[in-house]
Structure formats: C-alpha cells, structure tokens
Structure 1
Amino acid sequence: MRKYECIYVISPTLEEEQVKALIQKFNDLVAQNGELESTEEWGKKKFAYEVQKHKEGYYVLMNFSANPDFPAELERNFKITEGVLKYLVVLRK
C-alpha cells in the first residue's frame, strides 16, 4: 500500500449538513478501499481566482494509504459528485 495526500474543495453554497455528508462519503470510500490516516477540515478560504463562478470554497485535506489503483477511483468519484469544485490526489514519499 502506498501513502497518498488528497485535497478537495467543496462549493460554499452547500449547507453545513451537506458539507459534512460529502466529507463523510469520501472518508467512508477511502476507509473501504484503504486506510484513512487523517482528515483536516480547513474551512472556507478565498480563491486566487474564480472557480466555476465561486470566489471561495470549503477545503478538506485527507491523508490515506491505499493500493495504486484506488486514486483513479477516488478521482472518478470527485468528478461525478456535485458540489466538489476542485481536487488533487498526490503520492507522498
């Protein structure tokens, strides 16, 4: 298993319950396919430029261990989930 770091940004227009549900959804997905090490909610932060007509977003950082094929599945889920503005999954050393 490899170690990964993932950051994703949730739309600021979602209500608090919807944000918590999205975070829990991705935490559960990682836990089912690997080992979730930590999740940090950074909260709302302003963007340097507009992203999908939003000037800010809710940032979440995840650290996890998983098999090499799992990040592609996680990215697929980010793409099809409404409310996720941006995401990035990188391999940690």
Structure 2
Amino acid sequence: MNQYEALYIIVPNQDEEVTKASVEKFKGIVETNGGEVTAIDEWGKKRLAYPIDYKTEGYYVLMSFTCAPEVPKELERNFKNDEAILRYLVTRKGE
C-alpha cells in the first residue's frame, strides 16, 4: 500500500451540500477500492491564478490516502468525468 495525495478544485457556484457530496464521493471511491483516507483538508473557496472555464474562483480540497497502486487511476478517471471538477492532481507521497 502506497501513500498518495489528491488536490482537486471544485466549481465554486454550487450549494454547500453539493460540494460536500462531491468530497464524500471521492472519499468513497478510495474506500470502496480498499484504500483508507487518512485526512481531508478543505481549503475552501480561493481565487485561481488564472481563469479556468471562465471561472476565477474554486473550492480547493486536499485528500491524503493510502491505497493500492491501481486506485489513483480510478480516482483520476472519476475526476476527469465529473463536470464539477475544474482541475486535479494525484501524487504519490515520498518515503
């Protein structure tokens, strides 16, 4: 099992419940594939460095998790298919 971090930016013009549901959705993807989420740090709404899809703000979430090597690919596939996600990055933590 490896340690990973995922930083993703959610579209800011959603209800708070919809944003929380998105966070829980991605947490659930890790857990249903046998991983363990160790921390979720919601940074909240922040200004983007440059506009993405004509949006200047985004809701930032940093998730740390431990899982098998194939789970990040599944997580990235779900990030890519979700229209509420502006940007994402999944990285493996150093030893």
TM-score tier, shorter chain, comes to over 0.9
Alignment TM-score, normalising by the size of structure 2: 0.95
Structure 1 segments, 4+ long, off by >6 Å, are: none
CA distance, structure 1, for counterparts of residue 85 and residue 57 of structure 2:
12
SS of 2:60's partner is: strand
CA distance, structure 1, for counterparts of residue 44 and residue 56 of structure 2:
14
| Match in the other structure for 1:18 | 18
RMSD of aligned residue pairs (Cα, Å): 0.7
Q: Equivalences for 1:9-88 in 2 at 5 Å?
A: 9-33=9-33, 34-88=35-89
SS of 2:72's partner is: helix
Deviations along 1:57-90, one digit per CA (max 9) or x if unpaired, are: 0000000011111111100000111211000000
Identity in percent? 48
What runs of 5+ residues in structure 1 fail to find an aligned partner? none
CA distance, structure 2, for counterparts of residue 71 and residue 52 of structure 1:
25
What runs of 5+ residues in structure 2 fail to find an aligned partner? none
- Equivalent pairs counted in the alignment come to 93
